Chains A and B, each alone.
Chain A
Amino acid sequence: MHKADFNDIDKSMILQVARKMKSNSCPLAAIVGYVDKEGKPVVAYSYDVNGDVKTYKCTGEKKVPSLTNIYGTAAEWFEEEISELMDVEFEGLVNKGRLFLPEEFDGSGQIIVSPLSELTGKK
């Protein structure tokens, strides 16, 4: 099994790394977003490099370039998911409407929303 391989990169390197990975035929394993302890957004790009997983993390950027011009649809849903759930915009990602639930869906009648505090018993 692969070993952990994480690298920090800045925004300007995202496309350069993606192009290099694509030219070496390394598939995109995942793009994941989260907020770190300091409240900064993190976008982590994981690539499959000859069976190993290499991850590049970009921290503190609310606008990052989209990989859809390089990886096509393989990057699209990952980026749509992050942009819909986090305060991160992907420059160059063509907006095809919401991925999670269609635009016209107002949530009435069909969805039960339970606050997390209720589920965990915390008031």
Chain B
Amino acid sequence: MGYTIPIGPYHSSLEEPVYAKLYTEGELIKDAEVHIGYNHRGVEKLTTQKNFIQTIALVERVCGICSHSHAFAYCLGIESITGMEVPKRGQYIRVITAELERLHSHFLWLGLAAHLIGFESVFMYAFNAREKVMDALEALSGNRVNYGMNIIGGARRDIDSGQKEKLLSMLDELHDANKTLKNIFVNDKTVAMRTKGVGIISREDAMKLGIVGPHMRASGIEYDVRANDPYSSYEDFDFKVIVHPDGDVFSRVVVRVLENDESIKIIKQALEKLPEGKINLGVKMPRVPEGEFVSRIEAPRGQLVYHIVTDGGPTNYRVSIHVPTFRNAASIPHMLKGSYVADAGLIVACIDPCFSCLDR
């Protein structure tokens, strides 16, 4: 006998509002639908009312996890339209902040994955590691969430030698914490039993679904904007694009835990090679001419695309934001079909969704 199970839009298992309908037959999900839009704040429309400096603060608030990524992508777009060349030191500081953000996002997700698997001690362990990153971000920027590290033309705050030393020692601690997590997630039998073969997306299906980020790389596609279309000096750093071929929840865990090591590697290189000089082009901003640019970066959850149109006036003409969850959430019904109802929570969570980002 078939039942339709509604989940959401407001449900105890959801941290953000979204509405999913599961069409089931016994324990199996036969079909699924996802509806979004419950957290729409009109950010894109608001950008047309704000000047370019005000917009940085606005887009940072699209998401609480990847706030730096939004401001980063927006500033890159405006700098391209204006023809500004950000000083190398400023570019490195942006990369350091972006990789710290990726670390705290991945640790957060690994903790939540452990929680959903029922492995509460690992949840606590992952969140303990994340706290170290949050402390580092607070020390660098003064904030735990919206860092305000970007201005048009560079970085807002510099990194001094004391901060550099503290960051490097924190990264050593984090490397050890990630080693323990890696050992648990890759080798633990319970984790494997709960995640292997669940929510599979093959390489071919991943191409058709248009998924991005770690979710895509876990289906065997080697693509990372940082490597394929380097921005902000990413070409200066040596790092691997982590790929896993199986396309299941286990692969997504492995990709993220291994990406943590790569982020640590990038930050260490950036700190060691941090060039001398200015961090930005100053607070006096040139007039933004009429123009258009499609800016994109590799946010923690995947490719983040900003399509910016300016008309020579003091505000944005159009800012279109397409976040990784917009691409990855479309794959949820595909993964749910044929899965057990008991796995639905883990499958939805495995894309590392951010519905606030998605709804803008």
Name the A residues within 8 Å of B19 (CB-CB). Answer: 101-102
Expressed in whole angstroms, the Cα–Cα distance for A51 and B318 within the complex equals: 24
Q: Of the candidates B37, B209, B230, B317, which one forms a contact with A74 in the assembled complex, judged by CB atoms under 8 Å apart?
A: B209
Q: Of the candidates A55, A74, A111, A119, which one forms a contact with B208 in the assembled complex, judged by CB atoms under 8 Å apart?
A: A74
Q: Of the candidates B37, B81, B207, B320, which one forms a contact with A32 in the assembled complex, judged by CB atoms under 8 Å apart?
A: B320
Q: Is A71 interfacial (CB-CB < 8 Å)?
A: yes
Q: Is the interface of B mostly helix, strand, loop or mixed?
A: mixed
Q: Is the CB of A4 within 8 A of B35?
A: no
Instruction: Kindly provide the distance from the CB of B27 to the nearest chain A CB, expressed in whole angstroms.
Output: 25
Q: Of the candidates A4, A48, A78, A98, which one forms a contact with B80 in the assembled complex, judged by CB atoms under 8 Å apart?
A: A4
Q: How many residues of A contact B (CB 8 A)?
A: 40
Mask, A19-47, CB within 8 Å of B = 1, is 00000000111101110010000001010
Q: Is B149 interfacial (CB-CB < 8 Å)?
A: no
Instruction: Kindly provide the distance from the CB of B185 to the nearest chain A CB, expressed in whole angstroms.
Output: 29
Expressed in whole angstroms, the Cα–Cα distance for A51 and B231 within the complex equals: 11
Q: Is B159 interfacial (CB-CB < 8 Å)?
A: no
Q: Of the candidates A32, A37, A77, A96, which one forms a contact with B307 in the assembled complex, judged by CB atoms under 8 Å apart?
A: A32
Name the A residues within 8 Å of B210 (CB-CB). Answer: 27-28, 71-75
Closest to B293 in A: A4
Which residues of B62-94 have CB atoms within 8 Å of chain A's CB atoms? 76, 80-81
Which residues of B5-42 have CB atoms within 8 Å of chain A's CB atoms? 9-10, 19, 21, 33, 35-38, 40, 42
Name the B residues within 8 Å of A53 (CB-CB). Answer: 229, 294, 296
Expressed in whole angstroms, the Cα–Cα distance for A72 and B37 within the complex equals: 22
Name the B residues within 8 Å of A55 (CB-CB). Answer: 292, 294, 307
Expressed in whole angstroms, the Cα–Cα distance for A71 and B330 within the complex equals: 13
Q: Is B311 interfacial (CB-CB < 8 Å)?
A: yes
Q: How many residues of B contact A (CB 8 A)?
A: 47
Q: Is A116 interfacial (CB-CB < 8 Å)?
A: yes
Instruction: Kindly provide the distance from the CB of A99 to the nearest chain B CB, expressed in whole angstroms.
Output: 7
Instruction: Kindly provide the distance from the CB of A24 to the nearest chain B CB, expressed in whole angstroms.
Output: 13
Name the A residues within 8 Å of B309 (CB-CB). Answer: 34
Instruction: Kindly provide the distance from the CB of A116 to the nearest chain B CB, expressed in whole angstroms.
Output: 6
Name the A residues within 8 Å of B33 (CB-CB). Answer: 96-97, 102
Q: Of the candidates A72, A77, A120, which one forms a contact with B326 in the assembled complex, judged by CB atoms under 8 Å apart?
A: A77
Closest to A52 in B: B229
Q: Is B228 interfacial (CB-CB < 8 Å)?
A: yes
Name the B residues within 8 Å of A78 (CB-CB). Answer: 322
Closest to A34 in B: B318
Name the B residues within 8 Å of A111 (CB-CB). Answer: 38
Expressed in whole angstroms, the Cα–Cα distance for A75 and B228 within the complex equals: 22
Expressed in whole angstroms, the Cα–Cα distance for A6 and B290 within the complex equals: 14
Q: Is A89 interfacial (CB-CB < 8 Å)?
A: no
Expressed in whole angstroms, the Cα–Cα distance for A6 and B81 within the complex equals: 13
Q: Is B196 interfacial (CB-CB < 8 Å)?
A: no
Q: Of the candidates A1, A51, A98, A119, which one forms a contact with B76 in the assembled complex, judged by CB atoms under 8 Å apart?
A: A1
User: Can you name 6 extra interface pairs (CB under 8 A) apart from A37-B311, A46-B294, A119-B42?
Assistant: A1-B80, A4-B292, A34-B317, A74-B207, A74-B208, A102-B33
B-side residues, CB < 8 A to A, are 9-10, 19, 21, 33, 35-38, 40, 42, 45-46, 49, 76, 80-81, 207-210, 223, 228-232, 291-294, 296, 303, 305, 307, 309, 311, 317-318, 320, 322, 326-327, 329-331, 334
Across the A-B interface, the 8 shortest Cβ-Cβ residue pairs? A74-B210, A100-B37, A72-B208, A1-B231, A51-B229, A32-B320, A34-B318, A32-B307
A-side residues, CB < 8 A to B, are 1-2, 4, 6, 27-30, 32-34, 37, 44, 46, 48, 51-53, 55, 71-78, 96-102, 105, 110-111, 116, 119-120
